[in-house]
Structure 1
Amino acid sequence: MKDEKIVLRHVTPIENIPSIIKDGKLSAKYTLRKNSFDSQYVSFEVYTGSGFLEQLCSEKSRDGKAFSLFFCKQRMIDDGIIFKCGPDFPGKIENIVYVTNLSISKDEYEQIGGYLFVEDEVPLKYLTDSCKKELYEYAKKEKIQLDEEVFY
C-alpha cells in the first residue's frame, strides 16, 4: 500500500463484492454484527500488513474467500468523514472474540491494527488507487458491471 499514507482496511466476504460494486459504496448493511450497537457503522482496521483478518473472514465466508478494501484515511478526513472509536465502540479484542471465539495467538492479535468506525456508508471513491485497480480487475474477471464513476 505505497500509494497512500494511512490506510484503512475493511475485509468482507467475497460474496458481498458484487453488491458493494453495484451500490458504489461500502455500507453498514454488510456487517456481521447485526444485533450489536455498532451495527449501523462500517468498521475499519488501521492496516498493518497482517493477513490474519483476511484469513478469519475467509472462514466466515460461505465461498471461503475474502476481499480486502483499502481506503485512504486522509482523503476521507479532508472530505469531512467523521471517525468514531473509544469506549462506546468495540475495540480490537471485542471484534476478535466475536470472530474467532478466542482462537488467536498473542502474535496474531498484536499484528491487527486498531479499529475505527464510520456511520452508515463510505463511497468507493475513497479506495486507494491500487485497490480501485484490483476491484476493477476483479469485476472484469467475474463479469460484474462496474461504473467507474463510483471511483470519483
Structure 2
Amino acid sequence: MPPITPCLWFDSDLEKAVDFYTAVFPDSSVGHVTRTPGEPGAVLAAEFSINGTTFKGINGGPAHAGFTETISFAIDCVDQAEVDHYWEALTADGGEESMCGWLRDRFGLSWQVVPVRLYELLSDPDPTRARAAAEAMMTMQRIVVADLEAAADGTDAA
C-alpha cells in the first residue's frame, strides 16, 4: 500500500515554514526542495519530515482559503515541560492561542498540544474525577497538568 502524506498549501512562505517546523521539532529534516524554474531562489515545493512523519508542501499562491481548524496536528506531550516548549514555540511570532490546548501557528496551521496526563485523567474510572478534569480543561488555553490534577483531586493547584 502506498504511503499517505499530508500536503500543505502555503501562499508563498513554504521555505520559512519548513525551516520553522524543522527547528521546533527534534528528529526533523528537510528533504527534496523544488525551486521554481526561471525564478532564482523561489521554492515551488518541498518535502520535510517531523518525528518520522513526512509532509509535502507547495507554494500555491493566495488562491486557496487558508488553513482552518478542521485539520489540526496533535502533539502528545509526555510532561508539562514538553507542553510549554511546543506551546511557546508554536505561538511565537504571530501564533494565536485558542482553547483546550489548541493554537494556530504564524503560518495558520492548527495544533493540539496535549499532555498525555490529560487523557489519563479523562479516562479515570471515577467519573467525578474525569468530569472535574474535563471541566478544568474547558477553561484553559494552554493545558496545565497541575491544574488538571488539582481539579480531579478537588483541591487548588499549588
TM-score of the superposed pair, with normalisation by structure 1:
0.25
Give the structure with the higher percent strand: 2
Q: Which has the higher contact order (CA 8 A, sep 6+)?
A: 1
TM-score of the superposed pair, with normalisation by structure 2:
0.25
- Bigger radius of gyration, 1 or 2? 2
